[in-house]
Amino acid sequence: LTSNGTATITTILKEDLSKRRQLERNFKKQIGVSPKQLGKVIRLQSALKMLLNKETDSLTKIAYESDYFDQAHFNKDFKEFTGISPTAFLRNEQMVLSTLFYK
């Protein structure tokens, strides 16, 4: 959790890759999603928090500070989870207002 959703399974296993599949299986059984999917959720939450708190006007800066490879990668993940782009999200007043609890 301290890695903002970017820790690799290799890092988590401390190079003991023989346990990789077992970890993935048990993780999904206990948490409900794969480690990779949880990492995407955590990273998107970090970006969403910056977006909602208006820490910057630059989506590119938010993407980089949230450890995305580039803004296109951020846009893709954002749309995967929300169904709309970050720009469309910000333009939609009702959508932004519905997230007040998140701040």
CATH code of the domain occupying 9-102: 1.10.10.60
Interval 17-76: pLDDT, tens:
667 788 888 889 999 999 889 999 999 999 988 988 887 889 999 999 999 999 999 999
102 pLDDT above the threshold of 60: no
Q: What is the mean pLDDT of residues 81-89?
A: 91
Q: Looking at residue 25, what is its pLDDT?
A: 87
Whether the predicted model's global pTM rises above the 0.75 cut? no
Distance, CA of 78 to CA of 48 (rounded, Å)? 9
**Residue boundaries of the structural domains of the chain:** 9-102
Residue 24 to residues 4, 31, 42, 46, 63, Cα–Cα distance (Å): 19, 10, 17, 23, 27
